[in-house]
């Protein structure tokens, strides 16, 4: 099972990184097909780990796709605001930083709300055990992608306490991937 998970993760990262490094293209661009493939890989992993029946699998895919564009837009906005905040914070100008902080906080809240809505739609179709597994698997996926995006190589030292499973808390609530 571990080699399967590693292969899936490697493929997920291979597909995700180029899209995250490129500017957003027009609808139907190659990045869109990569996102679709990533979504399909996530759905396959959920199907396997949760033991979904065909009806549950179709419902889950429909719900996740329903929220996909909204989530992508908010994540894109969050990345842009974070970059602006990073640049503004180096200047030391509170007047520049304050509105960016408010926008970033609002965007994060919106993303939380969308994720809550998605999970609330998913919950009724799953058993309590499947709900728990769903949250755990989505948290694993988020952690795996986060770990792969971390800079590695000569001279890299992770921050104290970072990256150890015993110190990474499982998020209770809808997943962020």
Give per-residue pLDDT as tens, 10-63.
544 444 444 444 444 445 556 677 778 888 899 999 999 999 999 999 999 999
Query: Does the pLDDT of residue 148 top 90, yes or no?
Result: no
N residues, the chain: 177
- What pLDDT does residue 142 have? 85
Domain residues for the domain of 98 are: 2-18+29-149
43 found inside a domain: yes
160 found inside a domain: no
90 found inside a domain: yes
- What pLDDT does residue 1 have? 53
Q: What percent of the chain has pLDDT over 70?
A: 67
**Mean pLDDT (the chain, rounded):** 78
What CATH number did the domain enclosing 82 receive? 1.20.120.1490
In DSSP notation, 97-139 reads HHHHHHHHHHHHHHHHHHHHHHHHHHGGGS-HHHHHHHHHHHH
Compute the average pLDDT of residues 87-93: 84
Contact between 67 and 117 (Cβ < 8 Å): yes
Q: How many angstroms separate the CA atoms of 45 and 60, rounded?
A: 12
Domains identified in the chain, total number: 1
Query: Does the pLDDT of residue 101 top 80, yes or no?
Result: yes
137 found inside a domain: yes
- What pLDDT does residue 146 have? 79
13 found inside a domain: yes
Q: Which of the two residues, 152 and 45, has the higher pLDDT score?
A: 45
User: Which of 50-59, 67-76, 122-131, 168-177 is least confident?
Assistant: 168-177
């Amino acid at each position: 099972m571990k080699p399967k998970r590693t292969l899936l993760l490697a493929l997920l990262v291979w597909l995700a990184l180029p899209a995250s490094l490129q500017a957003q293209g027009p609808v139907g661009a190659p990045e869109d097909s990569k996102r679709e493939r990533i979504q399909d890989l996530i759905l396959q992993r959920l199907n396997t780990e949760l033991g979904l029946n065909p009806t549950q699998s179709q419902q889950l895919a429909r719900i996740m796709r329903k929220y996909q564009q909204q989530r992508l837009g908010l994540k894109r906005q969050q990345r842009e605001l974070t970059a602006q905040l990073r640049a503004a914070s180096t200047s030391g100008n509170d007047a520049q930083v304050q509105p960016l902080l408010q926008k970033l906080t609002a965007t994060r809240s919106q993303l939380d709300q969308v994720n809550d809505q998605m999970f609330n739609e998913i919950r009724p179709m799953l058993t309590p055990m499947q709900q728990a597994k769903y949250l755990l698997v989505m948290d694993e996926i988020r952690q795996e992608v986060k770990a792969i995006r971390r800079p590695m190589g000569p001279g890299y030292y992770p921050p104290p306490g970072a990256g150890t499973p015993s110190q990474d808390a499982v998020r209770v609530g809808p997943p962020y991937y």
